[in-house]
Each structure stands twice: as C-alpha cells, then as structure tokens.
Chain A
Amino acid sequence: MQATSVQPNIKIPLWRVRLRLAWKSFKANWKLFVHNPIGVIGLVIILIFALMALSHPILMKYVWEPRVYDPVIGYDMEIFVHPSPPSAQHLLGTDPLGRDIFSQLLYGTRFSFILGISSALISVIINTTIGAVSAYYGGVVDMIFMRLADVVTMLPFIAILVVLSALWEFTGFTLALVYGLLVGFGGNSIVIKSQALSIKVKPYIESARASGGGDWHIIVTHMLPNLLPLSFLFMMFTVTNAVFAEAALSFFGLLNIRMSWGIMINTAQAAGYLLAGSEYLYLLLPAGLAITLLCSAFYMVGRALDEIVNPRLRER
C-alpha cells in the first residue's frame, strides 16, 4: 500500500500516553471549574464535611469514651439534666436522651455521605444504561423502559419508604439502594435518553457502524463516554435530593433509622424541644445547618459542573 511505512516513534507505552492525556484533560476541566466561585465554595464545604465524616471513627476509637460519646447509645451520667447546652466536654451539648450532639453530627455526616453517594451511583448507573439502551435500540425496548419510567415516577415513593421502614431498619446503604432504584428507573433516564438520541444520529456513530462496529461496541465506546458528563451532573443533584429526602422523612419519624441528621431533629421534636425557645437552639441548629450546607454544597458543585458539561462548551 505505501512504499515507506512510518515508525510512530512511540517509545512510551500506550497506557502511559492515555494516562497523560487524562491528566491533561482533568487539569483543563479543573481550570474551567475554578473559574466559578460557587463551585469552589461548594467543593470546599464538601471537603470539610468529608473530613468530619472521616474523623468520627478515629475519634470514637482513640479520643472519646464510647460509653459516653456513642451517638446512639451513649449517656453522660455526670450531667444531671439532659438536654444540656454546649460545654467543655460536649462541644455542642447533649440531646434529650443524653447523647453527645457533636458525635451525632459527625456520625450523621458519615451516614449522609454513604446515603448520598451510594444512591447517586446506583441511580446514575441505572438511568444511564436505560437511557443509552433505549435510545440506541428504540422500538419495543424503548417503549418498555419509558413506560416503566412513567410508572416509577407515579409511585408514591414516600409511602413506599414508610412501608418498607415498617419491615426493616434502614442503614445508609440500604436506604440508598431503595432510593437509587426509585430514582434510577424514573424521570432522569428520559433526559439522558434524549441526550443519547442526539448522539446516536451523529455521523461518527454511522462511521463506527460502517466499519463493522456492533451494538455493544458503539454503546460502550461512543455513547457512554459522551453521556458520562451529564450523568455525573445528575449524580450531584441526586445526592442533594437523597440527603434532603431522608432528613425530611426522618424528621417526621417515618423512617426506621438508627442515627442521622434527620433523626437528631426528630429526637428534639419528639421530646418537645422544637419550639421551646432560643436556649434549646443547640438541639436543632447543628443538624439543620449540616443538612442545608451539605445539600447546597452538592447543588453548587452541580451548577458549576453544568457549565462545563453543557454541550456548548464541549464542542469545537
């Protein structure tokens, strides 16, 4: 075919090159991301919370006495009246059941992260797959998934969570599983499908087919990488929604969970301290602020990512 072939002069193995390219692209996206102060603030908040979550097991093991500081069963017998306001031993005070609020806050952070990120991952894996497959195959497959999405969207998910709650006690992960499944099969898959549809008609997909690429090859090599930015974006918002949903439902006492931020507020309310006056704010503020801040932080990161992911910036 050609008289002289060109040695590519690539002494570096291919995987190294790809790694280098990935790093370069990450740096470029990072630069775009930090342009937006909102995204940076959100990210900083998330990092602080992450540190808090990580610190809890360490504190429990090495610094605190479990009998006193355990977030669920701890009890400080040296203090006569519980709840007690913030003090030297209890930075944020104790709740009506005698448990250290700061410990609860840190434990709740861990819970929220597990809940948020797991449900985000589960829902995103499901709705990206559904979106890609529906868009690619169309026809009956598409119809089934879209009708399923309609049904799932209509499901009274609060009622479902409440009923399931009656059957067993949720951990962060199991709640995330249920929430992730409910969201994953629901409305977001339609949005991803529409993005997938716009990819499906691009000439590079036809080129891949003309070269002999099969369905699997096209979906995995071409569609998914182009869908992942959008999926990642949805992940951020799913975390926000999951954490907030859990907090709201726990507050109403509808979920059977050992300890979370929602449970903290629920405990305060059940003991009658919700509207009891400003000296009991220490019972409500930590959990309330934590919920607000973490949810907002993920939302802010999501908004900042939106500007990177938005196709307008991606092309040309």
Chain B
Amino acid sequence: MSEKNSLVRVEHLVKKFPVSAGLFKTSKSFIHAVDDISFEIGYGSSLGLVGESGCGKTTTGKLLTRLYDPTSGLIEINDPKVGQVDLATLKGQDLKEFRGRVQIIFQDPYESLNPRRTIFDTVAEPLVVQGMGNITQREEQVSTLLETVGLTPASSFLFRYPHELSGGQRQRVAIARALVVNPSFVVADEPTSMLDVSIRIGVMQLMMELANKMGVSYLYITHDLAVARYMCQRIAVMYIGKIIEKAPTEELLANPLHPYTQALISAVPVPDPEFQRQAIPIKGGVSAPIDPPDQCRFYNRCPFADDFCRDNPHPPLEDKGDGHFVACYKV
C-alpha cells in the first residue's frame, strides 16, 4: 500500500492525559492512552481497531475526529475534495471546514441523539453548522438520506423525537447524521454493540452498503473480533495504547503472530457446542497505562516473555510480509 493511496495516514500518534496533581501544580504523571501508533486507511476500505477496554481504541477514534487534541503525531488526510491536510495541527476555520470531512458514529443509540430535538434537526445539524444549503435544500437532503438508511417513508420520521424510535432506528439516524455532509471518512465506535442481535446485522450491512455507494472509509472500533472480521478488510490490534499487530483480516485470524492476539482469538466463544475451544491462558489483567516502564507492554502477562523482553524497550512493528506487521521480539 503506497503512501499516495491512503485516505488516512496516521504516524506516531500520541495522546497523554495528565493525572491531576492539583490546581496549580503541573502533573508529573501521565496516562499514556495512545502511545505512538501508526496506521493507514485506504480509499473505500475499512480498518478494524480491536482491543479490550482501556486499550486506547476509543481515544484513537476521538483523536481522528479532533474531539481530543493529539499530544503529538501526524494525522494526514488525503481528501479527494479538499487535498492533503494534517488534521492534527489544524486550527480555527480550517479545522471547522475539515470537521465536515471526518464524522463519527457512537455506541449508544439512546444517548447519541438529543432527546429534545426532532430527527430532522438532528440530521440537519451538520449541514447547519457547516453552512451548507438553505432550508429547502436541507429538508430534501435529510429526507433522501433517511430513506437511504432505511427509514421510510422519510416524511413520517422527519419530525419525530428520538424516544419514539427503537434502538436500531436511532442508530440509523446516527448514521444518516454522520453521512449528511458527505464525509470521506467515518469513525464508528462500537455502533452495534448495544443493539439487539437481530438488528445488528441490518445495521452492519447498511454501513457496508453505504461505504460502497458513497465511497466512505471506516475506522471500525470494536472489542468483538467476529464483527471486525465481517466489516473490515484490515484489522489492527491494540494493547495498552500500542498497536501490537496489524494485518489483512483473514491473514490475522488464520495466522496470528503476537501472543496477545493469539490469546484474544482463542478466548472468543464459538457458537458450536461440539467445538472444543482451547483458550490460551495468560495471567493477570490489563493495567492502567500510567507512566508505563519502557519495555514491552505485554511483558507481565506474556507466556513467552524472557529477560530480553524485560530489558529492551517496547518492540517496534516489523513487517513480516503480505502487509502483516507484528511488534514482538519472539516472532
């Protein structure tokens, strides 16, 4: 994947949160939520960001939409409409314009819509804020989009309130809102995990359809490897702020190289009563990344770790061929 072909190119992205030390003292301790990660997302393709809670995947998603400001690093966007920009350093009016190119869908369909605003107002908001179109044009655009996401007839949904809709319908509204300004890139933070199982597939398929139809790429954040497999062409696995493995989806699932990825895959329950799943045991739990020591983040729990792993800094991502990268000294 050459650099020129990427819609999004993230390099050495870092986000540190100060652990509050008081009102007038500067912090000495930091939470390394996102600790030097790099990845790319191609045009019309989706990257799955997988990991357990606290690994930094949600923070990454928010960094890519500038809901958090990065501590350091590059977020390069090669938008066909507006050209090449480093989202990490944009300010003011430029930043506002670029907000229209990257949107986000949240996990909770009940909390991501303002309960006091109609569906029309909610979906039209990005248009209003970006100053696109007059009232008639906005009405038309919103109606068209509602129909596209499966809320038909649009006229019966336009002036309803969120509490009159079901969870699946609300999530479709959220998708419509994300797409109304025709972004090139959407961050989806666990959009289906709070939906009923029978609704999930519909929403996931809708997102894939829209990706094709509207040429949108996704950063699909999830803790569920199976869902990531279904939705994404590539998967990156995060652990305590670092990407420890990334590869094309099928390659990663068939041939996981990092011990953590192997453990993760082995822990996923399989809907087949006759399948004897052998979980790879790893001890301990995930620790909060406060001032982590400069060694492999997985050292404490890794079944293969040795003194070399302890004495050296966190391993860099190495190319093992076929677009498969791993950060491990033992591979």
A interface residues (Cβ-Cβ under 8 A, vs B): 1-2, 5-10, 14, 17, 21, 143, 202-204, 206-214, 217, 221-222, 225-226, 314-316
Additional 15 contacts, C-beta under 8 A, given A17-B159, A208-B129:
A2-B144, A5-B141, A7-B140, A8-B155, A14-B135, A202-B111, A202-B112, A204-B111, A204-B112, A210-B104, A211-B99, A211-B100, A212-B100, A213-B125, A226-B116
Contacts of B115 in A (CB 8 A): 226, 314-315
Given A1-B182, A208-B129, A209-B67, A226-B140 contact (CB < 8 Å): no
Given A9-B155, A206-B67, A211-B126 contact (CB < 8 Å): yes
Can you list 11 A-B pairs, Cβ within 8 angstroms, ordered by A? A2-B148, A5-B144, A7-B143, A8-B139, A8-B154, A10-B139, A203-B111, A207-B112, A225-B114, A315-B110, A316-B110
A212 lies within 8 A of B126 (CB): yes
Residue of A nearest to B182 (CB): A1
Complex: how many Å from CA A230 to CA B70?
36
Complex: how many Å from CA A61 to CA B67?
64
Nearest CB in chain B: distance from A29 CB, A? 12
For residue B96, CB closer than 8 A to chain A, the reply is yes
A6 lies within 8 A of B106 (CB): no
- Tally inter-chain residue pairs, CB-CB below 8 A: 102
Contacts of A222 in B (CB 8 A): 114, 117
For residue B65, CB closer than 8 A to chain A, the reply is yes
Contact among A6, A143, A213 for B129, CB-based, below 8 A? A213
Given A222-B114, A316-B163, A10-B155 contact (CB < 8 Å): yes
Complex: how many Å from CA A210 to CA B177?
11
With most chain B CB atoms within 10 A of its CB, the pick from A6, A10, A206, A316 is: A6
- Chain B, residues 163-191, CB within 8 Å of chain A (1/0): the string is 10000000000100100011000000000
Contacts of A1 in B (CB 8 A): 182, 214
With most chain B CB atoms within 10 A of its CB, the pick from A7, A17, A21, A207 is: A207
For residue B108, CB closer than 8 A to chain A, the reply is yes
Contacts of B142 in A (CB 8 A): 8
Complex: how many Å from CA A82 to CA B317?
99
A210 lies within 8 A of B114 (CB): no
Complex: how many Å from CA A225 to CA B121?
13
- Which residues in chain B, 142-157, are within 8 Å of chain A measured between CB atoms? 142-144, 147-148, 154-155
Residue of A nearest to B93 (CB): A212
B139 lies within 8 A of A207 (CB): no
Contact among A208, A226, A315 for B163, CB-based, below 8 A? A315
Nearest CB in chain A: distance from B90 CB, A? 12
Contacts of B102 in A (CB 8 A): 210
Complex: how many Å from CA A60 to CA B293?
85
- Chain B, residues 115-137, CB within 8 Å of chain A (1/0): the string is 11110001001100110000100
Residue of A nearest to B215 (CB): A1
Complex: how many Å from CA A225 to CA B116?
7
Q: Which 9 A-B residue pairs are closest in the complex by CB-CB distance?
A: A211-B126, A212-B99, A203-B112, A203-B106, A8-B143, A212-B96, A6-B144, A204-B114, A8-B139
